[in-house]
Amino acid sequence: MAAPGAAGFIGGRILGGIGTYAQITAVSWYVFHITGDPRALGILTSLSLAASVAASPIGGLLANRYPLQGVAAGAQIIQAVICLAAGLWAQTTNLPLAALYVLFVLLAGVSSLGSTSLAQVLPDSVPRALRPHAIADSGAAYGVARVVGPVVGGALVLLSGLGVVILFNAASFLVFAAVIMRMPIRRGEIREGQVLASKEGFWAQVSRGVRTPVATVVLAGLVVFYLLVDPVQSQLAAIAARESPNPLMVSLFMSALACGSVIVNPLLRRAQSRGAGPVRILLAGCLGSAVPLALLGATEQVWLAVLLLVVIGMCMEVVFTAGSATMQLVVSAGSRSAMLAVLFATITAAAAVGSYLLGVAMYHAGVSTALIVGAAAALGASLAVVWFAWRVKALTPGLATRGDSDRVR
């Protein structure tokens, strides 16, 4: 059962997530359908990720200076207006590629403006003792939305066209905005590390954080993964087109990737509860993704491709979760927020570059060859990070809890 006050938010987040992933699926299929060019898919993802990185600092400032609900709900409403305009346009004519690029850039930028505030709405709306449960319930619900959304998007674009999918997403934004405005925000609490962080500048916090060897290992592992493995999700429409031009094939592949994230979460929690070090878990995820990625490039069997995407999705969740957890454990409270900001900016930038490069590689070498070569590069780079982690003794059990997390300089 959801924590009191959280049920409405979780329901709105499910609907919003379904709308978002329905649109991502439909637009990805449509872009590859009209261009047949994986570079177009890579550019679509790279532009949206770049917009997200650029807008994130502003989102942090908005969250600090204005009411959380107003910023979070306002971002949802603006995205709804953008989708409403694009959806109505798509109902009258075929949207040009440039318009879809602009659509994704605007949505990603506005989403980032409100993301910091949105992340605080649920925790600040429930009692402190219930926050872990509420956040876990919200994460699980969003995982369900990631599985269901692609199916909805594929079915709607097949039956009714792209415009209907975008309009559906607009409606989901409006519903979520209404839910956010009704949340009972609890004010006046100071978060851990906030006072410490205010005593020094952002880059001073980052400089102190990166001097932690484990933090360097984490950042290196994340760069490798998000540069060479994560971009596969930007090219699922191109991969699916090897088997069928039907948008439901793209839906199947995207849902399979999301299923992996949902499946692995309880296994990941069990591994962590048994004392498995987060650095080891992260590096296992990096290494474990190479083989299924190579096999995905080699196979022509739909059932095997779906199974491999589930495994890759599991690795994605493992790497992100372990990376975030490690950074919070090994970095001091005064540097934690800054280092997490650097972490998210780093992986987003790496994914943006990787998505474009994978699209170029697929265009010149073919989908299968690009995936196999990318898997080989990911394996080699991951082994290099493992070697570096061994050299700096980052693989020592318990190290992640012995950093400078409680020391203030």
| Judgement on whether residues 69 and 161 belong to the same structural domain of the protein | yes
Task: Work out the average pLDDT over 225-250.
Answer: 94
Of the residues 185, 205, 233, the one at which a domain ends: 185
Question: Which positions ≥6 away from 128 have C-beta within 8 Å?
Answer: none
Would you say the C-alpha torsion 365, 371, 376, 381 has a positive or negative sign? positive
The 10s digit of each residue's pLDDT in 55-85 is: 888 887 888 788 889 999 999 999 999 999 9
DSSP assignment letter at 394? T
**SS3 track for 249-272:** HHHHHHHHHHHHHHHHHHHHHHHH
| Judgement on whether residues 181 and 197 belong to the same structural domain of the protein | no
| Judgement on whether residues 330 and 226 belong to the same structural domain of the protein | yes
CATH number reported for the structural domain that contains residue 403 in this entry? 1.20.1250.20
* Burial annotation 216-243 (CB, 10 A radius, 16+ → b, else e): bbbbbbbbbbbbbbbbbbbbbbbbbbee
Neighbours of 296 (CB within 10 A): 24
| Judgement on whether residues 11 and 52 belong to the same structural domain of the protein | yes
Residue 404 clears pLDDT 60, i.e. is over it? no
| Judgement on whether residues 213 and 152 belong to the same structural domain of the protein | no
| Judgement on whether residues 14 and 106 belong to the same structural domain of the protein | yes
Residue 406 clears pLDDT 70, i.e. is over it? no
| Judgement on whether residues 233 and 344 belong to the same structural domain of the protein | yes
What tokens does 218 get?
């984490």
Q: What's the pTM value of the predicted model, to 2 decimals?
A: 0.87
| Judgement on whether residues 210 and 244 belong to the same structural domain of the protein | yes
| Judgement on whether residues 163 and 268 belong to the same structural domain of the protein | no
| Judgement on whether residues 197 and 93 belong to the same structural domain of the protein | no
The 10s digit of each residue's pLDDT in 136-178 is: 777 788 889 999 999 999 999 999 999 999 999 999 999 999 9
Residue 409 clears pLDDT 50, i.e. is over it? no
| Judgement on whether residues 277 and 158 belong to the same structural domain of the protein | no
Q: What does the pLDDT read at residue 3?
A: 56
**Average pLDDT, rounded, for the chain:** 85
Of the residues 153, 185, 217, the one at which a domain ends: 185
Q: What does the pLDDT read at residue 405?
A: 38
What tokens does 244 get?
């069928």
Structural domain of residue 180, as residue ranges? 1-185
pLDDT band at 401 (very low <50, low <70, confident <90, very high): very low
The 10s digit of each residue's pLDDT in 23-49 is: 999 999 999 999 999 999 999 999 999
